[in-house]
């Protein structure tokens, strides 16, 4: 790895049209898992001017049977959850209002051919819901063991959203994007060279004193997030660089589930297998295997076994056992990577029952309605609380050390 370089990551707010779509899809996942923990869900959402469309495949007790018949009242619940999600985000605009947008529900029954490959049977374990490769990553750049550029990008937008929701910054609207560029020296963050924030705003906040107030507020949020030693008079700020940003959200640009996968993961600092997370139940390894590889990578770094760690796993549809496991500590490991791979396999088998789809989702207790909060500001680097973000725990540290002893 290079030791001296510039690196940039971006984030988008909960009001970004793609993130609105992600949050709606995960709200549907939570709704259905609350009814049937074994539900099968693949929900895609489209948002645009005063329109929300759902599509995808589902199956579950008390939700929809194999013929495609909805259980009584569930269709109405789906629409209520969708509108409540948009209301929580804060859209009450002429071009996109939680109460008046047109809604289409095109969810239908899961394919029987997919079901036969995924479901467990008398002579087979539960198989992966699709083929694919999944990556997990951790590094010691921040206390959350996340890439600093992405961590700061997320937290700037979280701060602005908090100020909007509490009324402290009533001139802010839901849609926003951020971007942070850091200079690294000897592989460590040394200076913040550039900040980009574009935030939707109330009319009139694009000129004069009101524009100055908005820009000062953004700089205040940046200063609250990024360590003071990284900021200086050399830091370049681009705040609403195009000028006015009144029309935003789904009215300004269409949104789709799964279009912000790098924002969702590691901000470009690590590979991504290509599969999105939101809208998928935990039998889909796009989601669950990405979570478990983050879990293991984070514990490797937390244990002091490496400063950076990337893990890859691969699956075939209908097959329970992973096809491969790969660990790379990028030359920062205290033990051989091959030894770490053996330790990971042993610990995963002992603690999770293995890296099979069933082992992952039962070992991490993923069959719960815990996904709505993952759909904005990243799936990783979050604080585990109760049932939420179990893949962010660092409770494998002692097990990994013991396996290597």
Beta bridge partners of 132: 315
Binding-site annotation, residues for ATP: 16, 175-177, 253, 259-260, 276, 280
Task: DSSP for 285-335, please give it.
Answer: HHHHHHHHHHHHHHHHHHTTS-SEEEEEEEE-BT--S-SEEEEE-TT--SS
Catalytic residue chosen out of the listed positions 286, 375, 379, 389: 286
Residue 87: active-site member = no
Residue indicated by tokens 């589930």: 257
Cα distances (Å, whole numbers) of residue 146 to 52, 154, 266, 380: 33, 11, 7, 8
Residue 215: active-site member = no
Catalytic residue chosen out of the listed positions 40, 154, 159, 259: 259
Binding-site annotation, residues: 16, 18, 44, 57, 110, 175-177, 253, 259-260, 276, 280, 284
Catalytic residue chosen out of the listed positions 16, 201, 298, 308: 16
Catalytic residue chosen out of the listed positions 10, 14, 18, 144: 18
Task: DSSP for 226-281, please give it.
Answer: S-GGG--TT-EEEESTTS---S-HHHHS-EETTS-HHHHTTTTSS---S---TTB-
**Euclidean distance between CA atoms 178 and 263, whole angstroms:** 11
Please tell me whether residue 199 adopts helix, strand or coil conformation: strand
Task: DSSP for 137-181, please give it.
Answer: EEESSSTTSS-HHHHHHHHHHHHHHHHHHHTSSTTEEEEEEEEEE
**Euclidean distance between CA atoms 52 and 106, whole angstroms:** 11
Residue 280: active-site member = yes
Residue 7: active-site member = no
Residue 245: active-site member = yes
Binding-site annotation, residues for Mg(2+): 18
Burial class (CB in 10 A: 0-12, 13-18, 19+), 102: exposed
Write the CB contacts of 42 (distance below 8 Å, at least 6 apart in sequence): 56, 57, 58, 110, 279, 280, 281, 284
Binding-site annotation, residues for L-methionine: 57, 110, 253, 284
Catalytic residue chosen out of the listed positions 245, 277, 380, 389: 245
Catalytic residue chosen out of the listed positions 83, 155, 177, 358: 177
Q: Decide: 154 and 377 in contact? Cβ < 8 Å.
A: yes
Positive or negative, the CA dihedral 229, 230, 233, 237 is: negative
Catalytic residue chosen out of the listed positions 79, 140, 163, 253: 253
136: closest CA among 340, 401, 281? 340
19: closest CA among 391, 280, 376? 376
Residue 336: active-site member = no
Residue 177: active-site member = yes
Beta bridge partners of 198: 177
Backbone φ and ψ for 217, nearest 5 degrees, come out as -65, -40
Residue 398: active-site member = no
Q: How many CB atoms lie within 10 A of CB 84?
A: 13
Residue 254: active-site member = yes
Burial class (CB in 10 A: 0-12, 13-18, 19+), 147: buried
Binding-site annotation, residues for K(+): 44
Q: Which residues are catalytic?
A: 16, 18-19, 44, 57, 177, 245, 253-254, 259-260, 280, 284, 286
């Amino acid at each position: 790895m290079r030791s001296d370089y510039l690196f940039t990551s971006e984030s988008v707010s909960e009001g970004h049209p793609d993130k609105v779509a992600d949050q709606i899809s995960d709200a549907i996942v939570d709704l259905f898992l609350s009814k049937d923990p074994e539900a099968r869900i693949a929900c895609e959402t489209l948002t645009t001017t005063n329109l929300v469309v759902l599509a995808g495949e589902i199956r579950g007790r008390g939700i929809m049977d194999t013929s495609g018949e909805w259980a009584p009242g569930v269709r109405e619940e789906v629409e209520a959850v969708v509108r409540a999600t948009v209301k929580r985000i804060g859209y009450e605009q002429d071009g996109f209002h939680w109460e008046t947008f047109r809604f289409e529900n095109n969810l239908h029954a899961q394919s029987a051919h997919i079901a036969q490959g995924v479901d467990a049977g008398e002579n087979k374990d539960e198989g992966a819901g699709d083929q694919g490769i999944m990556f997990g990553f951790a590094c010691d750049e921040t206390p959350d063991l996340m890439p600093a550029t992405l961590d700061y990008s997320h937290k700037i937008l979280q701060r602005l959203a908090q100020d909007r929701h509490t009324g402290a910054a009533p001139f802010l609207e839901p849609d926003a994007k951020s971007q942070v560029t850091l200079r690294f020296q000897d592989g460590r963050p040394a200076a913040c060279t550039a900040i980009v924030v574009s935030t939707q705003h109330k009319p009139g906040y694009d000129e004069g004193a009101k524009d100055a107030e908005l820009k000062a507020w953004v700089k205040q949020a940046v200063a609250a997030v990024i360590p003071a030693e990284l900021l200086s008079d050399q830091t370049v700020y681009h705040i609403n660089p195009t000028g006015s940003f009144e029309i935003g959200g789904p009215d300004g640009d269409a949104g789709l589930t799964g279009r912000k996968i790098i924002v969702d993961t590691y901000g470009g600092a690590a590979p991504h297998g290509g599969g999105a997370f939101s809208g998928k139940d935990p039998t889909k390894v796009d989601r669950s295997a990405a979570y478990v590889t983050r879990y293991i990578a984070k514990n490797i770094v937390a244990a002091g076994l490496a400063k950076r760690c990337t893990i890859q796993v691969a699956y075939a549809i209908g097959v329970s056992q992973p096809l491969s496991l790969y660990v790379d500590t990028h030359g920062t490991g205290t033990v051989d990577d091959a030894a770490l791979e053996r330790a990971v396999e042993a610990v995963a088998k002992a603690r999770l029952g293995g890296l099979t789809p069933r082992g992952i989702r039962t070992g991490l207790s993923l069959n719960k309605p815990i996904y709505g909060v993952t759909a904005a500001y990243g799936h990783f680097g979050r604080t585990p609380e109760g049932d939420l973000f179990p893949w962010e725990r660092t409770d494998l540290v002692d097990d990994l050390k013991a396996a290597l002893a």
